[in-house]
Amino acid sequence: MFHHEPHGTDPLKKLSEELHLLAVRFEERKVTLREVMEVLGARASGLLIIILALPFCAPVSIPGLSVVFGLVILSIAARYALGLPPWLPERLLATQLPPRFFHALLEGASRFIGWIERELHPRWPWWTATPARLRFHAAMVGFCGFLLLLPLVGLPFTNTLPALVIVIGMLGMMERDGVAIAAAYGLLVVTIVYLGMFAAVVLEVFDRIKHWLTG
């Protein structure tokens, strides 16, 4: 599922090319998540996580998508973290993506991964040496998928930060780049601190409103 051999017969560079071909293929019609996974083949789960997280890497609100995409990311990553094969319920597999949106998304993913492939390479092998460690990193990805589900409307970067963790961490896992994975954990700490500060402000506001109502 998340396995990827950087110097084997299926390099990450090939993925960027295949994403471009996939964008052309689905340019003029709607596509379901099932079709996407079938076309992507053995790497479907890991690559799908990256594709679905990419739209949130920019600090622009995308109404209605974070819940569905976050649920898919959480489901796939959680099953891998538990040592289970990838699986999605029929309802999620039947989710349709608008043709123009999906085409732009895939083209963006292709360019992004094309740039990343020149920056990532196997480092810190002890950080990715065993399936157990990869499952632990997958739990981080799943947790950030859960963060995308939270209804934090109006707060800047609430989707951007966890999405960046997902993309950087996932690509680090696929390329066995421990430095990238460590960077994802560092960004996760920043995300938690940021959301914690927001939660503290909200609680303080509610507390003041409570005191004001009760005199």
Chain segment 43-89, per-residue pLDDT in tens: 667 777 887 888 777 665 565 677 778 888 888 888 888 888 777 77
| Torsion sign across C-alpha atoms 93, 101, 30, 35 | negative
Chain segment 154-189, per-residue pLDDT in tens: 567 778 889 899 988 988 888 888 899 999 999 999
Q: Angle at CA 125, nearest 5°, toward 120 and 128?
A: 85
CA distances from residue 2 to 25, 101, 209 in whole angstroms, order as listed: 24, 25, 48
Reported as type and span, the H/E element at residue 66 is: helix 65-81
- Residue holding tokens 């999906």? 102
Say what the pTM is.
0.76
Cα(122)–Cα(160) distance, integer angstroms = 26
Chain segment 111-130, per-residue pLDDT in tens: 777 777 677 778 888 888 78
